[in-house]
Amino acid sequence: MAFGITRDELNKWKQAVIREEIAFLTHYWLDPRFPDVKTVTKVGCANRQRLIEWCLSHGLNPVYIHDRPPFPHFDLLGSRQKEILQKEGRWDQLERFGLLDK
The string of pLDDT tens digits covering residues 17-32 is 999 999 999 999 988 9
Q: Are the C-beta atoms of 2 and 27 separated by less than 8 Å? A: yes
Q: What is the pLDDT of residue 102?
A: 55
What's the rounded Cα separation, in Å, for the pair 24 and 9?
Answer: 10
- Three-state DSSP class for residue 43: strand
**What mean pLDDT value characterizes the chain?**
94
Confidence at residue 1, expressed as pLDDT on a 0 to 100 scale = 55
Dihedral sign for Cα 77, 82, 87, 88, please: positive
pTM beyond 0.85, yes or no:
yes
Q: Please give the share of the chain, as a percent, with pLDDT higher than 70.
A: 97
pLDDT digits (tens, 9 = 90+) for 59-91: 999 999 999 899 999 999 999 999 999 999 999
Amino acid 30 reads L
